[in-house]
Protein backbone atom coordinates (compact mmCIF):
# COMPACT_ATOMS: atom_id res chain seq x y z
CA UNK A 1 0.00 0.00 0.00
CA UNK A 2 1.39 3.33 -0.77
CA UNK A 3 0.59 6.86 0.05
CA UNK A 4 -0.25 8.53 -3.09
CA UNK A 5 -0.35 12.11 -4.21
CA UNK A 6 -2.82 12.92 -6.93
CA UNK A 7 -2.08 15.18 -9.89
CA UNK A 8 -4.49 16.25 -12.54
CA UNK A 9 -3.08 18.00 -15.56
CA UNK A 10 -5.92 19.72 -17.41
CA UNK A 11 -5.24 22.00 -20.34
CA UNK A 12 -6.12 25.66 -20.92
CA UNK A 13 -6.76 27.01 -24.43
CA UNK A 14 -4.50 29.85 -25.53
CA UNK A 15 -6.53 32.16 -27.80
CA UNK A 16 -5.17 33.54 -31.03
CA UNK A 17 -2.85 36.52 -30.63
CA UNK A 18 -2.07 39.63 -32.57
CA UNK A 19 0.95 39.71 -34.83
CA UNK A 20 4.22 40.29 -32.99
CA UNK A 21 3.19 38.58 -29.73
CA UNK A 22 5.20 35.59 -28.52
CA UNK A 23 2.16 33.64 -27.23
CA UNK A 24 0.97 30.67 -29.31
CA UNK A 25 -2.15 30.83 -31.48
CA UNK A 26 -5.16 28.62 -30.89
CA UNK A 27 -3.72 25.74 -32.92
CA UNK A 28 -2.23 24.44 -29.69
CA UNK A 29 -3.14 24.19 -26.01
CA UNK A 30 -0.96 24.47 -22.88
CA UNK A 31 -0.69 22.10 -19.92
CA UNK A 32 -1.72 23.56 -16.55
CA UNK A 33 -1.02 21.59 -13.35
CA UNK A 34 -3.48 21.50 -10.45
CA UNK A 35 -3.23 19.43 -7.25
CA UNK A 36 -5.23 18.80 -4.11
CA UNK A 37 -4.15 19.67 -0.56
CA UNK A 38 -1.78 17.90 1.79
CA UNK A 39 -1.10 18.13 5.52
CA UNK A 40 2.43 17.99 6.86
CA UNK A 41 3.07 15.93 9.96
CA UNK A 42 4.74 17.90 12.76
CA UNK A 43 8.47 17.27 13.11
CA UNK A 44 8.81 15.53 9.76
CA UNK A 45 9.13 16.20 6.07
CA UNK A 46 6.61 13.46 5.31
CA UNK A 47 3.64 14.34 3.15
CA UNK A 48 0.57 12.57 4.50
CA UNK A 49 -2.27 14.06 2.47
CA UNK A 50 -3.38 14.20 -1.13
CA UNK A 51 -1.23 16.93 -2.67
CA UNK A 52 1.06 19.90 -2.14
CA UNK A 53 0.28 23.20 -0.43
CA UNK A 54 3.60 24.87 0.36
CA UNK A 55 4.54 27.86 -1.77
CA UNK A 56 7.56 27.24 -3.95
CA UNK A 57 7.33 23.43 -4.07
CA UNK A 58 8.75 22.16 -7.37
CA UNK A 59 8.07 19.02 -9.39
CA UNK A 60 9.31 17.86 -12.78
CA UNK A 61 7.36 16.61 -15.79
CA UNK A 62 8.78 14.24 -18.41
CA UNK A 63 6.64 14.68 -21.56
CA UNK A 64 7.35 12.10 -24.25
CA UNK A 65 6.08 10.54 -27.46
CA UNK A 66 5.35 7.37 -25.54
CA UNK A 67 8.97 6.19 -25.50
CA UNK A 68 11.03 7.08 -22.44
CA UNK A 69 13.62 9.67 -23.44
CA UNK A 70 11.89 10.61 -26.71
CA UNK A 71 10.81 14.24 -26.35
CA UNK A 72 7.26 15.09 -27.34
CA UNK A 73 7.21 16.99 -30.66
CA UNK A 74 11.00 16.71 -30.64
CA UNK A 75 11.32 19.54 -28.09
CA UNK A 76 14.13 18.54 -25.73
CA UNK A 77 13.05 20.91 -22.94
CA UNK A 78 9.86 18.83 -22.55
CA UNK A 79 11.94 16.03 -21.02
CA UNK A 80 12.32 17.92 -17.74
CA UNK A 81 9.79 20.72 -17.27
CA UNK A 82 9.76 22.48 -13.89
CA UNK A 83 6.42 23.40 -12.30
CA UNK A 84 6.42 25.64 -9.19
CA UNK A 85 3.50 25.77 -6.78
CA UNK A 86 1.90 29.14 -5.98
CA UNK A 87 0.03 28.77 -2.69
CA UNK A 88 -1.74 32.11 -3.09
CA UNK A 89 -3.43 31.17 -6.35
CA UNK A 90 -3.28 27.40 -5.60
CA UNK A 91 -1.87 26.78 -9.07
CA UNK A 92 1.28 25.34 -10.60
CA UNK A 93 3.31 27.63 -12.83
CA UNK A 94 5.45 26.12 -15.59
CA UNK A 95 8.95 27.47 -16.13
CA UNK A 96 8.25 26.90 -19.83
CA UNK A 97 4.87 25.77 -21.14
CA UNK A 98 4.21 22.44 -22.81
CA UNK A 99 1.92 22.75 -25.86
CA UNK A 100 -0.30 20.14 -27.48
CA UNK A 101 -0.62 20.87 -31.23
CA UNK A 102 -3.85 20.63 -33.19
CA UNK A 103 -2.52 17.61 -35.10
CA UNK A 104 -3.59 15.50 -32.09
CA UNK A 105 -0.20 13.86 -31.54
CA UNK A 106 -0.34 12.00 -28.23
CA UNK A 107 1.86 13.13 -25.32
CA UNK A 108 2.78 10.53 -22.71
CA UNK A 109 3.54 12.13 -19.32
CA UNK A 110 5.54 11.18 -16.22
CA UNK A 111 6.14 13.31 -13.11
CA UNK A 112 8.60 13.23 -10.22
CA UNK A 113 9.30 15.18 -7.02
CA UNK A 114 11.35 17.12 -6.06
CA UNK A 115 12.47 18.84 -9.26
CA UNK A 116 16.17 18.61 -10.18
CA UNK A 117 17.47 20.64 -13.11
CA UNK A 118 19.89 17.93 -14.26
CA UNK A 119 17.40 15.06 -14.18
CA UNK A 120 17.12 12.89 -17.28
CA UNK A 121 15.79 9.36 -17.91
CA UNK A 122 19.43 8.28 -18.19
CA UNK A 123 20.79 9.69 -14.93
CA UNK A 124 17.67 10.09 -12.73
CA UNK A 125 18.04 12.09 -9.52
CA UNK A 126 20.16 11.63 -6.41
CA UNK A 127 18.19 10.50 -3.35
CA UNK A 128 19.75 11.20 0.03
CA UNK A 129 18.73 10.34 3.58
CA UNK A 130 20.24 12.94 5.94
CA UNK A 131 21.17 12.24 9.53
CA UNK A 132 18.36 14.61 10.61
CA UNK A 133 15.21 12.69 9.68
CA UNK A 134 13.03 15.81 9.75
CA UNK A 135 14.86 17.16 6.69
CA UNK A 136 14.42 14.08 4.51
CA UNK A 137 12.65 14.87 1.24
CA UNK A 138 9.59 12.82 0.35
CA UNK A 139 10.76 11.57 -3.06
CA UNK A 140 7.85 10.66 -5.35
CA UNK A 141 7.05 9.71 -8.91
CA UNK A 142 4.00 9.44 -11.17
CA UNK A 143 4.68 6.58 -13.51
CA UNK A 144 2.96 5.86 -16.81
CA UNK A 145 0.24 3.17 -16.86
CA UNK A 146 1.12 -0.41 -17.61
CA UNK A 147 4.08 -0.46 -15.24
CA UNK A 148 2.37 -2.39 -12.45
CA UNK A 149 2.59 0.62 -10.12
CA UNK A 150 0.02 3.19 -11.19
CA UNK A 151 -3.70 2.31 -10.88
CA UNK A 152 -5.16 1.01 -14.11
CA UNK A 153 -7.64 3.88 -14.43
CA UNK A 154 -5.08 6.66 -14.57
CA UNK A 155 -4.87 8.63 -17.82
CA UNK A 156 -1.20 9.41 -18.43
CA UNK A 157 -1.60 10.67 -22.00
CA UNK A 158 -3.01 13.80 -23.59
CA UNK A 159 -3.61 15.35 -26.99
CA UNK A 160 -5.26 18.47 -28.40
CA UNK A 161 -8.76 16.93 -28.56
CA UNK A 162 -8.44 15.18 -25.17
CA UNK A 163 -6.11 17.45 -23.21
CA UNK A 164 -6.50 16.11 -19.66
CA UNK A 165 -3.76 14.02 -18.05
CA UNK A 166 -4.48 12.25 -14.75
CA UNK A 167 -1.47 11.01 -12.80
CA UNK A 168 -1.04 9.65 -9.27
CA UNK A 169 2.13 10.39 -7.30
CA UNK A 170 3.70 7.38 -5.57
CA UNK A 171 6.18 7.35 -2.69
CA UNK A 172 9.63 6.09 -3.66
CA UNK A 173 10.71 5.68 -0.03
CA UNK A 174 9.49 3.54 2.86
CA UNK A 175 8.33 5.02 6.17
CA UNK A 176 9.22 3.55 9.56
CA UNK A 177 7.25 4.63 12.63
CA UNK A 178 8.68 3.84 16.06
CA UNK A 179 6.06 4.06 18.81
CA UNK A 180 7.55 4.62 22.26
CA UNK A 181 5.59 3.94 25.46
CA UNK A 182 6.05 2.75 29.06
CA UNK A 183 4.71 -0.30 30.90
CA UNK A 184 3.56 1.99 33.71
CA UNK A 185 2.69 5.64 34.15
CA UNK A 186 4.96 7.87 36.21
CA UNK A 187 8.12 5.87 35.48
CA UNK A 188 10.24 9.00 35.26
CA UNK A 189 11.57 7.97 31.83
CA UNK A 190 11.27 10.40 28.92
CA UNK A 191 12.26 10.01 25.27
CA UNK A 192 14.18 12.59 23.27
CA UNK A 193 14.98 10.90 19.96
CA UNK A 194 14.85 7.67 17.97
CA UNK A 195 17.16 6.80 15.10
CA UNK A 196 17.89 3.87 12.81
CA UNK A 197 21.39 2.61 12.07
CA UNK A 198 23.22 -0.47 10.84
CA UNK A 199 24.51 -2.89 13.45
CA UNK A 200 28.28 -3.10 13.68
CA UNK A 201 29.73 -4.52 10.45
CA UNK A 202 26.38 -4.42 8.58
CA UNK A 203 25.45 -2.30 5.55
CA UNK A 204 21.76 -2.97 4.86
CA UNK A 205 20.65 0.62 5.55
CA UNK A 206 21.77 3.05 2.83
CA UNK A 207 21.90 6.82 2.96
CA UNK A 208 21.89 7.56 -0.79
CA UNK A 209 20.83 6.15 -4.13
CA UNK A 210 19.63 7.14 -7.61
CA UNK A 211 15.92 7.33 -8.44
CA UNK A 212 14.64 6.84 -11.98
CA UNK A 213 12.29 9.74 -12.77
CA UNK A 214 9.97 7.57 -14.88
CA UNK A 215 9.25 4.68 -12.50
CA UNK A 216 10.73 5.61 -9.12
CA UNK A 217 13.10 2.63 -9.03
CA UNK A 218 16.05 3.39 -6.74
CA UNK A 219 19.51 2.00 -7.46
CA UNK A 220 21.47 1.60 -4.23
CA UNK A 221 25.26 1.74 -3.82
CA UNK A 222 27.23 -0.99 -2.10
CA UNK A 223 28.41 1.44 0.58
CA UNK A 224 27.02 4.85 1.67
CA UNK A 225 25.53 4.05 5.05
CA UNK A 226 24.71 6.30 7.98
CA UNK A 227 22.15 6.64 10.76
CA UNK A 228 19.08 8.87 10.47
CA UNK A 229 17.39 10.23 13.60
CA UNK A 230 14.06 11.82 14.49
CA UNK A 231 14.49 14.23 17.41
CA UNK A 232 11.91 16.04 19.56
CA UNK A 233 12.41 19.65 20.64
CA UNK A 234 11.87 18.58 24.25
CA UNK A 235 11.98 15.12 25.85
CA UNK A 236 8.48 13.70 26.40
CA UNK A 237 7.59 11.46 29.40
CA UNK A 238 6.67 7.91 28.44
CA UNK A 239 3.30 6.58 29.61
CA UNK A 240 1.17 3.54 28.86
CA UNK A 241 -0.92 5.50 26.38
CA UNK A 242 -0.68 7.43 24.15
CA UNK A 243 2.60 6.46 22.57
CA UNK A 244 5.22 8.97 21.43
CA UNK A 245 5.67 8.36 17.70
CA UNK A 246 8.79 8.93 15.62
CA UNK A 247 8.28 8.82 11.80
CA UNK A 248 11.44 8.19 9.77
CA UNK A 249 11.69 7.89 5.98
CA UNK A 250 14.26 5.42 4.65
CA UNK A 251 15.41 4.06 1.31
CA UNK A 252 13.92 0.68 0.36
CA UNK A 253 15.94 -1.76 2.43
CA UNK A 254 16.65 -5.48 2.12
CA UNK A 255 16.76 -6.99 5.62
CA UNK A 256 18.16 -10.51 5.87
CA UNK A 257 18.76 -11.02 9.59
CA UNK A 258 17.26 -10.05 12.91
CA UNK A 259 19.54 -7.52 14.55
CA UNK A 260 21.03 -6.39 11.23
CA UNK A 261 19.57 -2.95 11.99
CA UNK A 262 19.27 -1.10 15.28
CA UNK A 263 16.96 1.49 16.78
CA UNK A 264 19.01 4.12 18.61
CA UNK A 265 16.89 5.55 21.44
CA UNK A 266 17.87 8.57 23.51
CA UNK A 267 16.17 8.47 26.91
CA UNK A 268 16.12 11.18 29.54
CA UNK A 269 16.15 9.85 33.09
CA UNK A 270 16.40 12.35 35.89
CA UNK A 271 17.47 14.97 33.39
CA UNK A 272 20.38 12.86 32.16
CA UNK A 273 20.37 11.61 28.55
CA UNK A 274 21.20 7.97 27.94
CA UNK A 275 21.49 6.24 24.54
CA UNK A 276 20.14 2.68 24.26
CA UNK A 277 20.51 0.49 21.13
CA UNK A 278 17.76 -2.03 20.34
CA UNK A 279 17.81 -4.67 17.60
CA UNK A 280 15.19 -4.29 14.87
CA UNK A 281 13.14 -7.51 14.77
CA UNK A 282 12.83 -9.47 11.52
CA UNK A 283 9.33 -9.80 10.07
CA UNK A 284 9.76 -13.19 8.43
CA UNK A 285 6.69 -12.99 6.17
CA UNK A 286 7.71 -9.58 4.77
CA UNK A 287 11.22 -8.79 5.99
CA UNK A 288 12.16 -5.90 3.68
CA UNK A 289 11.22 -2.24 3.90
CA UNK A 290 9.50 -1.59 0.57
CA UNK A 291 8.63 1.71 -1.06
CA UNK A 292 5.17 3.11 -0.42
CA UNK A 293 4.66 1.15 2.81
CA UNK A 294 4.65 2.06 6.50
CA UNK A 295 6.37 -0.20 9.03
CA UNK A 296 5.30 0.41 12.64
CA UNK A 297 7.31 -0.87 15.61
CA UNK A 298 6.54 -0.57 19.32
CA UNK A 299 9.24 -0.13 21.98
CA UNK A 300 8.18 -0.29 25.64
CA UNK A 301 10.18 1.15 28.53
CA UNK A 302 10.43 -1.22 31.48
CA UNK A 303 11.89 1.46 33.73
CA UNK A 304 15.41 2.88 33.72
CA UNK A 305 17.23 2.01 30.52
CA UNK A 306 15.42 -1.29 29.98
CA UNK A 307 13.58 -1.34 26.64
CA UNK A 308 11.62 -4.14 24.98
CA UNK A 309 10.96 -4.14 21.21
CA UNK A 310 7.78 -5.94 20.23
CA UNK A 311 8.45 -8.70 17.65
CA UNK A 312 5.22 -7.72 15.88
CA UNK A 313 5.64 -5.34 12.96
CA UNK A 314 2.53 -3.65 11.57
CA UNK A 315 2.73 -3.08 7.81
CA UNK A 316 0.23 -0.70 6.22
CA UNK A 317 -0.09 1.30 3.00
CA UNK A 318 1.14 4.90 3.10
CA UNK A 319 -2.40 6.17 2.45
CA UNK A 320 -4.96 3.90 4.13
CA UNK A 321 -8.12 3.30 2.16
CA UNK A 322 -6.88 4.44 -1.25
CA UNK A 323 -9.07 2.87 -3.91
CA UNK A 324 -6.98 3.68 -6.97
CA UNK A 325 -9.32 6.38 -8.25
CA UNK A 326 -7.72 9.76 -9.06
CA UNK A 327 -9.35 12.86 -7.61
CA UNK A 328 -10.93 15.03 -10.28
CA UNK A 329 -10.62 18.81 -10.06
Instruction: Report the distance separating Cα 248 and Cα 173, nearest Å.
Output: 10
Per-residue pLDDT of the chain (329 residues; tens, 9 = 90+): 344 444 444 433 333 333 334 544 578 876 655 443 222 233 334 455 455 667 888 888 889 998 888 999 999 999 999 988 787 876 677 898 889 999 999 988 888 889 999 998 888 899 999 999 999 998 988 766 544 444 444 557 788 887 777 667 778 999 999 999 999 999 999 999 999 999 999 999 999 999 988 888 999 886 667 899 999 999 999 999 999 999 999 999 999 988 999 999 999 999 999 999 999 999 888 899 999 899 999 999 999 999 999 999 999 887 654 444 333 22
Asked whether the beta carbons of 204 and 255 are under 8 A apart, the reply is yes
Q: How many CB atoms lie within 10 A of CB 274?
A: 14
pLDDT at 51: 54
pLDDT at 85: 79
Instruction: Report the distance separating Cα 117 and Cα 76, nearest Å.
Output: 13
Q: In angstroms, what is the C-alpha Rg of the chain?
A: 23
Residue range(s) in the chain whose domain bears CATH number 2.60.40.2620? 4-171
Helix (H, G, I), strand (E, B) or coil at 139: coil
The CATH fold of domain 4-171? Immunoglobulin-like (2.60.40)
Asked whether the beta carbons of 35 and 5 are under 8 A apart, the reply is yes
Instruction: Compute the CA torsion angle 132, 1, 287, 260 (nearest 10 deg).
Output: 0
Instruction: Report the distance separating Cα 286 and Cα 10, nearest Å.
Output: 39
pLDDT at 130: 94
pLDDT at 21: 42
pLDDT at 143: 67
Burial 148-173 (b: 16+ CB within 10 A, else e): ebbeeebebbbbbeebebbbbbbbbb
Residue range(s) in the chain whose domain bears CATH number 2.60.40.2630? 174-317
Instruction: Report the distance separating Cα 125 and Cα 216, nearest Å.
Output: 10
CATH: 2.60.40.2630, 2.50.20.10, 2.60.40.420, 2.40.30.10. Which one for 174-317? 2.60.40.2630
Q: What are the residues whose beta carbons fall under 8 Å from the beta carbon of 146, sequence distance 6 or more?
A: none
Kindly give the pairing relationship between strand 293-301 and strand 174-182: parallel
Asked whether the beta carbons of 292 and 323 are under 8 A apart, the reply is no
Amino acid sequence: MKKLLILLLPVIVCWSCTKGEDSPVDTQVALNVKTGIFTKTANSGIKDGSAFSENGEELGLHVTTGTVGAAYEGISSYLNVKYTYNSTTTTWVAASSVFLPINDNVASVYAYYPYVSTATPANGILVTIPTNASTTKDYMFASNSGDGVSPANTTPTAKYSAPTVSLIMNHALAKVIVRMKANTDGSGVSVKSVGIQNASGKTALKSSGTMAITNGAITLPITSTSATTSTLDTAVPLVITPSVDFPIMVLPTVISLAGELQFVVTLSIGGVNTVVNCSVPLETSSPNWERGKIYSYTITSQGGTALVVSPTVTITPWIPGFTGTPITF
